[in-house]
Amino acid sequence: MSNTKLSPRQKMINMMYLVLTALLAMNVSQEVLNAFKIVGQGIKTSNSLSQSRNIDYYSSFQEWKLKNPSEDAVVFNALFNRTKETTDEALAYIEAIQNEIKDKSGVKIENNEEVFKHADDLNTATKLLSTEQDGKVKGEELRMYLGGLRQQYLDIIEQGNQTLIGSENYQDYKTVYASVLPLKEQEQNIEGLGKEKKTWAEFNFGNVPVIASDVILEKLKNDIINTETQVLDFLLEQANGGKIDFDILEAKLIAPKSYLASGKEYEAEIFISAASSSNRFQVFIGEIDKTYFDGQKKQFTESEELPFLGDYSELEVEGGKAKFKEIAKGVGSKSYEGILRLKKPNGGYELYPFYADYEVAPPSGMSISPTMMNVLYVGVDNPISIAVNGVKSDADVKASISQGSLQKNGNGQYIARVNEAGTASINVSAMVNDRNESFPAMEFRVMNIPDPKISLCGYALKNKMQKSEILACNGLIAQTQDFVFQSKFEVVSFDVIVKNAMQTVKQSNSGPIYNQEVMNMLKALAKKDVLVFDNILVKDPAKKNRKISGSIFIELI
CATH of the domain at 318: 2.60.40.10
| One domain for residues 477 and 458 | yes
For residue 134, tell me if it sits in a domain: yes
Compute the average pLDDT of residues 456-481: 83
Residue pair 521/554 in contact (Cβ under 8 Å)? The answer is no
pLDDT of 211 over the 60 cut: yes
Co-location of 232 and 282 in the same domain = no
b/e per residue 414-440 (b: at least 16 CB within 10 A): bebbbeeeeebebbbbbbbeeeebebe
The verdict on residue 199 lying in a domain is yes
Give CA–CA dist 120/473, Å, rounded: 52
Alpha carbon distance 210, 40 (integer Å): 12
Tell me, yes or no, whether 245 lies in a domain: no
With a cut of 70, say whether residue 446 has pLDDT above it: yes
3-state class of 511 per DSSP? Answer: coil
In a domain, residue 1? The reply is no
pLDDT of residue 311: 92
Residues 255 and 331 in one domain: yes
Region of residue 434 (left: phi > 0; alpha: psi -120 to 50; beta: else):
left
pLDDT number for residue 265: 62
In contact, 340 and 349? CB cutoff 8 Å = no
Q: Does 482 lie in the same domain as 377?
A: no
Say yes or no: 147 and 203 in one domain: yes
Q: Considering the domain boundaries, does residue 56 fall inside one?
A: yes
**Is residue 361 predicted with pLDDT exceeding 60?**
no
Q: What pLDDT, on a 0 to 100 scale, did the predictor assign at position 346?
A: 43
Q: pTM above 0.85?
A: no
Judgement on whether residues 84 and 201 belong to the same structural domain of the protein = yes
pLDDT of residue 291: 81
pLDDT surpasses 90 at 507: yes
In a domain, 244, yes or no: no
Residue 463: give the domain boundaries. Answer: 453-556
| Structural contact between residues 17 and 215, judged by C-beta atoms closer than 8 angstroms | yes
HSE-CB of 249 using CA atoms within 13 angstroms: 22
The whole-number pLDDT of residue 514 equals: 93
359 pLDDT higher than 70: no
- pLDDT at residue 328, as a whole number: 64
413 pLDDT higher than 80: yes
Provide the pLDDT for residue 276: 43
Beta bridge partners of 198: 190
CB 129, CB 205: distance < 8 Å = yes
What pLDDT is recorded for position 400? 94
- Which of 239, 273, 294 is the C-terminal boundary of a domain? 239
Q: What is the band of 488 on the pLDDT scale with cuts at 50, 70, 90?
A: confident
Position 436 scores a pLDDT of 87
The whole-chain average pLDDT of the chain stands at 82
pLDDT of residue 498: 95
- Residue 3 is assigned to a structural domain of this protein: no
Tens of pLDDT, residues 51-107: 988 998 999 899 888 888 888 889 999 999 999 999 999 999 999 999 999 999 999
Mean pLDDT of 392-413: 87
Does 460 reside within a domain?
yes
Average pLDDT rounded to a whole number, residues 18-46: 66
* Radius of gyration for the alpha carbons in the chain, expressed in angstroms and rounded: 30
187 and 225 housed in the same domain: yes
Q: What angle do CA 319, 322, 327 make, to 5 degrees?
A: 135
Q: Do residues 333 and 387 both lie within one domain? A: no
Position 531 scores a pLDDT of: 93
Count how many domains the chain has: 4
Same domain, 131 and 88: yes
Residue 246: predicted pLDDT:
47
Q: Looking at 414, 447, 480, which one is the last position of a domain? A: 447
State how beta strands 464-465 and 552-556 pair. parallel
Q: What per-residue confidence (pLDDT) applies to 386?
A: 84
Of the candidates 28, 17, 18, which has an alpha carbon nearest to the alpha carbon of residue 123?
28
Query: pLDDT confidence of 22, banded at 50, 70, 90?
Result: low
**Cβ distance 281 to 340 under 8 Å?**
yes
Percent of the chain with pLDDT over 90: 37
Predicted confidence at residue 58, as pLDDT, reads 92
Instruction: Using pLDDT thresholds of 50, 70 and 90, give the confidence band for residue 242.
Output: very low
Domain boundary among the residues 429, 447, 465 is at 447
Closest CA to 441 of 431, 451, 427: 427
Q: Please tell me whether residues 435 and 459 are part of one structural domain.
A: no
Mean pLDDT of 163-192: 84
Mean pLDDT of 32-39: 72
Shared domain check, 156 and 54 = yes
Residues 232 and 258 in one domain: no
